[in-house]
Every structure is written in C-alpha cells, then in structure tokens.
Structure 1
C-alpha cells in the first residue's frame, strides 16, 4: 500500500528554509497528502546540501501558522507532557508511520524517542524536522529555559532560545528536553451572567483538544461536580454537551472547505478518525465528508 506524508508540513519546512535564505523546490501535492518517498527525498536532499541544522530551525515557522486548527489545538497545551500527549493523538489521526514515544521524565525533564516501524526508523532529516516543530511548540505554550540534548552522548543542540548545533546523525531520534519553568496560561474567562449551560459550553469550546473532567469544569464555573451534573441534566449531561460543542466546531471547519478531515477531527478533540466519523454522523445523520460536500 502506498504511504503518504503531510503536504502542509513539507510546505512549512520549505517556507522556514526560505526565511533562512535557503531556496528549495518542494514536491507538489494535489491535496493534503503527498507520497512519503517524495517527502523523504526532499528532506534528504536538503540535509545533504545544508546539513540538519536548517531543518531543525525550520520548525520556527510554526509560530506563524496559529490559524491552522491542528497547530491551534497543539498550542493550547499547558505543559510539555500535555503537548506530547496531544502530538501523539495527532499522529494517530494522520496515521503517521512515525511516533514520538515518552521514555521517561521527572519534574522539568522528559526523554522521548522518535521511532518508526520495526527495522524502518525515521531518517535523521525527518528526526530534525519533528524535533524543530516540537521545540517551536514548546516555546508557544510558554516553556522557559528550554535545553534539548540529542543522541546517546546527549549533545546539546538547543539552548538560549535557539538551535546552537546540528543534531547528530547517530541517535538523531533520541531527545531529552529540560526546562526551568512554564508561563501560566490565563484562565478562560467565564461570563458570570450567562446560564450554566452556556458558560460550560463556552468553556469546553475554548479548548476541545483538552481532556476535560467534570471536576475541572465545575471548579471553573464555581460550583461542585454534583451541582453541575444536576444543572446540565436538561441539556443531556456533561458528555452530551461536550459532544455538541465538538460537532458544532467540526461543522464550522468543514464548511470552511480548506482543512483535511484528519486535521478537523484532531482539532475538535476526537480520539481518532473513526471516532470523528461515528460521532459526527450520529449527531448530523451525515458523515463529515458528506456534510462538507452538501453544504460547503
């Protein structure tokens, strides 16, 4: 079976390289995906001509793509661990052949490994790109004092807010992130005069990628979990309200007509593509694809 890669990621890499003064010709895609071999060939050519450092630095362009639903959902993470959790869910959504696996972590440190199918690890150029994207996202969510070491020799490649050395080819997919702190995110404002259902709906819709708990939401609106359950009963309950918020957000993105279904499903908090299709169809009597075709 043919394998594919994200055309948007490759386009972002090309843009990041261009901003660094490196002009490249990226493979063209007819839609959201392009053949995996085309992506790997492009990155390998860049690495051969310019090394791995520009590929790692190219991830900084993610800061300019905040309007992209997937980038927006990733950027709402509040800790490095939550960011990696969201990233792994995005990998499942896009059926990525590569995975970021957490190998350990305590306090202000996490060790991860970028892996592929057995016997087919990511190329060093692919490792460099994903590392660069994750570093950029860590900056977006407010991680301070970030240092990144790569490979079995723990070579420091990122410190002081910039990549200071290229990732080593040997062990290029083994990363240790260390940080000194994070900038607390301002809480989502909850209008006091709105009814409870409206307030909860707005809170859930503000970050559909978050793993909301009833206790968290109750605390945010200033009530107990039991009282909130009673208040939401007429609206179908907490889970039903969360499902409605996801469906409304997904429908709006589908009508925009520009984002891949996998991006929309991930941004709206669904577990994977089958979950997105099943729940959206249950609520609208149409699959996401059919809804887009009918109304956009």
Structure 2
C-alpha cells in the first residue's frame, strides 16, 4: 500500500527547506513512498547538526503555500485545534505510524501534547519531535485559529507567538508541548430544518457529505441540525433510518465520487472519507458495492484517450 502520509510529508519537507533556502539539504531520494526510519533519522540528524533545531521546527510553515495538497485539504476542514488533533491521530492510526501524539485538554483553549513511540525502546528523536510539532502548530495557524502560541512544557516563554518562532535555547526534552489559542465560545445553532421529513434527512446528508472525515457523533450531528440527540434519533427512526446508516452512506458516497473522478490514492480516499484504516475501507466498500475500491476505480474512473 502506498503510504500517502509519507508522500505528503516529503513534499511538505522539501517545500519547507526551499522556503528557507536549503533545497539541496532535502531528504534522500527513494523509489517508494515510504522512507525507511533509519534513513529519515540519519537525514534529520544531519540537518540538525548542520543548521540547528530552528530549521527543523520551521519546516511546517510550508503548509501556508500548499493549498492544493490533498492531505492538507482534508485536515483544513477541522473546526479548531482539538478537532485537528483528532484528525491527526486518526491519520496516525490509519497509516499505522510507529509514533503517536497523545493529547489532553485541561481547559478550553489549551492542549497538552506528547509525542511518543509505540516501541518504548525506540522513542522519537528530538528532531522528529520538532518536525511533528512544527507541522501541528503551522496547521493550527492554517485553520486561521486566533492567538496560537506554543512551547515545550516547562519553558518560561512561548517559542511560537504571533505567527513567528523565537530562537530559544531548546531544552533537551522537546517531546511534550503546550498549545494555546483564543477559544471561541460555541453558539447554539438556530437554523430551521426543512419542512418535510425527506428534506430534513437530505439536510443531514448534506452536512455529513460536506466533511465525511470528521469524527461525527449523534451529539455533533444533532447540533448541526439544531436538534437534541434524542429528537434526531427519533426522527431518523420514523424514516426507518439510523445515525450509523446515514453516516456510512455519506462516507461511501464520498469515496465513490473520489474514486471515480480523482487520481487520489485509494488509501488517501479512505482516510479523507473517515474510514478507520485501509482494511476497513476496503471491507466496507466491497460490502456495499461488491467491488474493492481499486476495482471500482478501474471500472468507473475516466480513461484518457
């Protein structure tokens, strides 16, 4: 399976180096999408030794010039930093990443993040920590989140503030960070739903289809429909439907559209449309269409010539 996340990260890293005038110091060329962990660590260590940690943490700023990057388009649908981190964590699970970002939210407008390895004997290196957190901070700003500030936990001043990195003396441990922003209070929606039951269901389907990769729950959809969760479930049951059925239909329809009309890798289609991993995507898609995603694309995607 093509690791689309590695491909996207390589494109972003190269763009980030180019922004800093260091295009020649890019990661090693590889024939496949996946960069071996040892090669990645060797290159990052060389970059750190040659230019210092500031260059690595600034690589993430490349997101501000890559609006057409498909993975960024999926992440940019996040409503706020907690939603963004949920999508990032789902991406880590989807591609079976060895490294994970653990998240806690002690109060509104504040996240505490820790970069860890699934293998306790091979923790992320400081360079890998800075690479990941640099991208996450840049992504928060890409969402136009107001007042983004970030720093390693324990530092007295913010390393990132007013969309600029300071040049601090970095601590030995850069695996744990604080991320702060100006949280906007959520206002209840008062949008009236369509008058007919059929129109109301179509209204819900449109909400789900607009962002199938969101971590939808009954509560979240009810809020979008200016309804209580209990009322939403009752009205769906009156139509012979359930929240689970509605969400699955939206995700499968979105996947079918992307497979038929786009060259996006099939694994990335699964992630963008909210499936847990490639196996789950293939299984669910075949159950409902009697075809794997790859076969569906070969049958229905337009052919040049």
Band the TM-score falls in, shorter-chain normalisation: 0.7 to 0.9
Alpha-carbon distance, 1:15 to partner: 0.8
Once the two structures are superposed, residues 92-122 of structure 1 have per-residue CA deviations (whole angstroms, 9 ceiling, x without a partner) of 0111111101255223322211111202111
Corresponding position of 1:118: 120
Residue 14 of structure 1 corresponds to: 14
CA offset at residue 41 of structure 1?
2.6
Instruction: Output one character per residue of 1:164-206: Cα deviation in whole Å (capped at 9) or x when no partner.
Output: 1267261121111122334979x8x999588122211111011
Residue 217 of structure 1 pairs with residue 218 of structure 2: no
| Secondary structure of the structure 1 residue equivalent to 2:23 | coil
Alpha-carbon separation, structure 2, partners of 1:55 and 1:182: 31
Deviations 1:47-86 (A, max 9, x none): 2211121221121222333444432232222232222122
Residue aligned with 1:181, SS: coil
TM-score normalised by the chain length of structure 1? 0.84
Question: Could you say which residue in structure 2 is the equivalent of 1:291?
Answer: 296
Alpha carbons 2:130, 2:174 under 8 Å: kept: yes
Given that 1:98 and 1:114 are in contact with CA atoms closer than 8 Å, whether structure 2 keeps it comes out as yes
Which consecutive residues of structure 2, in runs of 5 or more, have no partner in the other structure? none
> Gaps (5+ residues) in structure 1?
none
Length, aligned pairs only = 293
Equivalent residue number for residue 272 of structure 2: 267
Closer, same or farther: CA 243–291 of 1 in aligned 2, 3 Å: same
Contact 2:15 2:62 in 1 (8 A): yes
Residue 229 of structure 1: how far off its partner (Å): 4.2
Counterpart in the other structure of 1:174: 176
Query: What's the secondary structure of 1:198's corresponding residue?
Result: helix
Q: TM-score, normalization: structure 2?
A: 0.82
Answering whether residue 240 of structure 2 is matched by residue 239 of structure 1, we say no
Partner in structure 2 of residue 23 of structure 1 = 23
Structure 2 vs 1, CA of residues 214 and 266 (structure 1 numbering), >3 Å: closer, same or farther?
same
Calculate the aligned-residue CA RMSD, in Å.
Answer: 3.1
Does the 8 Å contact 1:8/1:32 carry over to 2? no
Deviation at 1:139, TM superposition (A): 1.1
What is the CA distance between 1:224 and its match in structure 2?
5.5
Alpha-carbon separation, structure 2, partners of 1:95 and 1:169:
29
SS at 1:17 equivalent: helix
Q: Which residue of 2 aligns with 1:92?
A: 93
